[in-house]
Amino acid sequence: MNEGMNAAARLVFNLPKFSHVTPPLFRDLHWLPVAARIKFKTMTLRARLSGDKNAGGGAEEDQEDQQQGEEREAAPAGDTGLGRPDIYKAVFSYQSRDEREMSFREGDLFDVITSRDGDWWAVRKVDPDGRALGSGYVPGNFLKREESVDAQPWYFGKMSRFEAQSHLMCPENKNGAFLVRLSQKGHVGYVLSVKQSRVKHFKVFQSDSDFWVEKEHVFCSLADLVNFYQSHQFSTREPLGQPCKRMEPHPADLSKATVDEWELPKEEFTLQEQLGSGYFADVYRGLWKNQINVAVKVLKAVHGHSLHFSFSPYSFSFLTALSNQEVYQKVASGYRMPCPSSCPNFIYSLMLSCWHAKEAHRPDFKELYDQLCTINSYDICEG
């Protein structure tokens, strides 16, 4: 056995250092699973010889509150036995909405240029050999680091058992559907949740870099564990089926171009059926540029006329200390809030202009911004 382990060590450590592109020869060799199998046999024999009671056995998470003898709090498994550290993988497909964005399909690979723009990342799309195919912006929540467990379709991150049950019991998930999650109870670590007649939860035991749910089978990574049980009987049950269906994320904005745009032309929106109505607004289903579903809130002015899409500072001037009926009566009769004691007169004049009864006399946000930018500390002191 020692000779086998030494051979595995020579195989691993004699490999040339990886660049950001793994040479095709070594990708095709699949040498990591070989080392994993050798380690798997060693761990299995060691567990049998030592009679380790903490070696697993398909224990369900129903007993998750019971502390295990040498159990450790599991950290997220960075090594899945797959991928390259500086490459990201698309976990969902995306259709670009702006000329600066990139369209991509699930599984496409990217080299991230910068993620400093928050929700939108500047990326370079690459092929499996690292050759650049194009560049642009993509929503960052559609990408996961290729080498991390987060990029696996079956990994759902930190999640409670009730959330897992809600996901797995959706009709589109058949019996055998599964997911791996990080329990919200810190001492539990990873849990394998499987849909059968009901959802059952199995603790994934972890020691250093080893993972197992049954003491007879120990693996170097979560990916190796899942791959094994997708083709082998699991704890007297059928092999695992398909990963649980995910809900597709949504970009944080309509597009990269709209990140800093607070107002959009009303011509870009198409109103459909009304979804609801309140005292100050109606809500409609709509389409942005005839492709993106949106909910459009159409504010009502106190005189009963809709403000539609041309939102203005007037929309934010309603009185909150009075009832709705009192607000209507007072504003309709020409009442405006008095100047606060610490408010400069020129600021109050701007406020009154925003509340003008005639829309044409109200400044828009740009006009307000330009006027406010001309104010200096002397004006404030003298106000």
CB 168 within 8 A of CB 199: yes
pLDDT for the residue numbered 41: 40
The CATH number of 88-146 is 2.30.30.40
pLDDT for the residue numbered 236: 59
* Residues placed in the known binding site for ATP: 297
pLDDT for the residue numbered 193: 93
| C-alpha span between 251 and 270 (Å, rounded) | 20
| C-alpha span between 346 and 92 (Å, rounded) | 52
CB 371 within 8 A of CB 350: yes
Confidence of residue 225 (pLDDT cuts 50, 70, 90): very high
Rounded mean pLDDT of 279-296? 82
pLDDT above 90: percentage of residues in the chain? 15
Confidence of residue 237 (pLDDT cuts 50, 70, 90): confident
Rounded mean pLDDT of 46-63? 44
Q: Which of 308, 307, 309, 310 is nearest to 318 (CA)?
A: 307
Q: Which of 135, 119, 124 is nearest to 88 (CA)?
A: 124
pLDDT for the residue numbered 10: 43
Q: Where do the structural domains in the chain lie, given as residue ranges?
A: 2-81+150-229, 88-146, 256-382
Q: What is the mean pLDDT of the chain?
A: 72
- Beta strands (DSSP E) in 73-207 are 88-90, 109-114, 120-126, 132-139, 143-145, 155-158, 178-182, 190-195, 199-203, 205-207
Confidence of residue 168 (pLDDT cuts 50, 70, 90): very high
Rounded mean pLDDT of 212-232? 90
| C-alpha span between 159 and 185 (Å, rounded) | 10
- Please determine, for residue 79, whether its predicted confidence score (pLDDT) is greater than 50: no
- Please determine, for residue 26, whether its predicted confidence score (pLDDT) is greater than 60: no
pLDDT for the residue numbered 301: 56
pLDDT for the residue numbered 55: 42
Q: Report the alpha-carbon angle 335-340-342, nearest 5.
A: 160
Q: How do residues 301-360 score in pLDDT, each as one tens digit?
A: 544 554 444 444 444 444 445 566 667 777 777 878 788 777 888 888 888 888 888 888
* Residues placed in the known binding site: 297
- Please determine, for residue 177, whether its predicted confidence score (pLDDT) is greater than 90: yes
Place of tokens 């120990």: 218
pLDDT for the residue numbered 98: 83
pLDDT for the residue numbered 244: 93
- Lowest mean pLDDT: which of 69-83, 124-138, 183-197? 69-83
pLDDT for the residue numbered 305: 52
Q: What is the DSSP string of 177-202?
A: -EEEEE-SSTTT-EEEEEESSSEEEE
Q: How do residues 146-157 score in pLDDT, each as one tens digit?
A: 878 888 889 998
- Please determine, for residue 131, whether its predicted confidence score (pLDDT) is greater than 70: yes
pLDDT for the residue numbered 372: 83
Superfamily of the domain at 2-81+150-229: SH2 domain (3.30.505.10)
Rounded mean pLDDT of 52-76? 41
- Please determine, for residue 77, whether its predicted confidence score (pLDDT) is greater than 80: no
- Lowest mean pLDDT: which of 10-19, 202-211, 302-311? 10-19
pLDDT for the residue numbered 25: 33
pLDDT for the residue numbered 374: 78
Q: Does the global pTM surpass 0.85?
A: no
